[in-house]
């Protein structure tokens, strides 16, 4: 009979190698899936994993796709390290997009002619406030009524989706949009400035990198960040030291919601340029995988965001060039997460054969 025993002290090297091994397993399993679907595994894997890096334009699209994942995963990493399980970054992303889109809509209707660089902080502030306000509902219910933040944050995602649909089907619907559920196209003055001519990557990408560095400094170089990380895994020790659990709940959820809201603002006023029912491609849920693959570390979130963005773009390319199903990117994400969990289990637990008496 096989039983699992806890390892006395898992090495830090194995903890870092675990995502690499999980990625190798994901690629191997993916090749098997391609073969089962009747496709050449080498060609399909090349389209899925190599073509997203083929040239400057492809790299620009990769950075554009990674921007919301970096921002959402940074807030989630802070929450999870503090033992606050925010599963509703998707809803906070949508509310940030709605509030920033509302400000852009007002500016468009007013015929504003300000510089896009002047409008950028307004859009980011609106998105941060929208996302933080949505996360504050979770914090209030957890703090005052001891509600489970997993269920509350998840259910609020569907409320946010319905709210967005009501807006684009109702009061914000473009009267000249041929009855499509969408707002008018935002004015050029409200568009997030692009970094390179002819490419869609915008100022949001360097902002996300700055946010990652700032989160690293906050988590590992400030007293407040140390409080949050101690209070998560050891709440009794934190209470003995005088740390406030209520402050931890509010801080982590507001920061996480604000970052997700900024990601929504960048998406709506950036590549989309209007509000539609399909603002998000599931960035908030994908960011959960990003945070864990990145080991809940801000700098690791950057690398894992680029990896998951490769999966998203590779799935689109595989659909158009190889004829594979569009759901393939989600399959790869799930396989990567399961492989990572299995590798982590083997890092912390070792199988041992036990003879029956």
Query: Mean pLDDT across the chain, nearest whole number?
Result: 90
Asked if pLDDT for residue 357 goes beyond 60, the answer is no
> Which structure tokens are listed for 23?
């990625």
Which segments of the chain does DSSP mark as H helices, in order?
A: 12-36, 41-49, 56-81, 89-109, 116-145, 149-169, 204-221, 223-231, 235-240, 245-267, 283-293, 298-321, 328-348
For residue range 45-104, what is the model confidence (pLDDT) as tens digits? 999 999 999 999 999 999 999 999 999 999 999 999 999 999 999 999 999 999 999 999
Q: Which residues contact 182 (CB under 8 A, 6 or more apart)?
A: 168, 173, 174, 274, 275, 276
> Which pLDDT band, with edges at 50, 70 and 90, does 343 fall under?
confident
Domain boundaries, the chain: 68-322
Asked if pLDDT for residue 5 goes beyond 60, the answer is no
More confident: 32 or 237:
32
DSSP-assigned letter for residue 6:
E
For residue range 152-211, what is the model confidence (pLDDT) as tens digits? 999 999 999 999 999 999 999 999 988 999 999 999 999 999 999 989 999 999 999 999
Q: Which residues contact 328 (CB under 8 A, 6 or more apart)?
A: 33, 48, 315, 318, 319
Q: At which residue do the structure tokens 């690791």 appear?
A: 300
Note whether 340 and 19 are within 8 A (CB).
yes
């Amino acid at each position: 009979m096989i039983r699992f025993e806890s390892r006395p002290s898992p090495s830090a090297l194995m903890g870092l190698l675990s995502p690499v091994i999980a990625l190798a397993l994901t690629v191997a399993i993916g090749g098997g899936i391609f073969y089962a679907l009747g496709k050449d595994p080498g060609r399909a894997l090349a389209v899925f994993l190599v073509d997203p890096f083929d040239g400057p334009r492809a790299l620009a699209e990769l950075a554009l796709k990674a921007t919301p994942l970096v921002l959402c995963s940074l807030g989630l990493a802070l929450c999870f390290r503090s033992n606050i399980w925010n599963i509703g970054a998707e809803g906070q992303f949508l509310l940030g997009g709605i509030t920033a889109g509302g400000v852009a809509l007002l500016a468009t209707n007013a015929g504003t002619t300000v510089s896009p660089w002047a409008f950028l902080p307004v859009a980011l502030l609106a998105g941060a406030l929208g996302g933080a306000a949505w996360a504050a509902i979770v914090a209030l219910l957890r703090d005052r009524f001891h509600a489970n933040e997993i269920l509350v944050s998840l259910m609020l995602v569907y409320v946010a989706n319905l709210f967005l649909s009501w807006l684009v089907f109702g009061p914000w619907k473009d009267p000249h949009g041929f009855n499509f559920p969408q707002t008018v196209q935002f004015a050029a003055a409200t568009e997030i400035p692009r970094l390179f001519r002819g490419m869609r990557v915008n100022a949001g990408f360097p902002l996300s990198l700055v946010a990652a560095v700032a989160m690293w400094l906050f988590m590992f170089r400030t007293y407040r960040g140390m409080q949050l990380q101690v209070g998560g895994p050891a709440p009794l020790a934190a209470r003995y030291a005088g740390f406030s659990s209520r402050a931890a709940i509010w801080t982590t959820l507001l920061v996480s919601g604000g970052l997700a809201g900024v990601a929504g603002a960048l998406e709506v006023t950036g590549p989309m340029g209007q509000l539609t029912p399909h603002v998000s491609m599931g960035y908030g849920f994908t960011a959960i995988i990003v945070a864990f693959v990145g080991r809940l570390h801000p700098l690791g979130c950057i690398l894992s965001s680029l990896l998951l963005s490769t999966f998203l773009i590779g799935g689109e390319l595989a659909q158009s060039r190889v004829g594979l199903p569009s759901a393939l990117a989600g399959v790869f994400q799930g396989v990567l997460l399961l492989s990572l969990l299995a590798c982590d289990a083997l890092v912390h637990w070792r199988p041992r054969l036990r003879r029956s008496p």
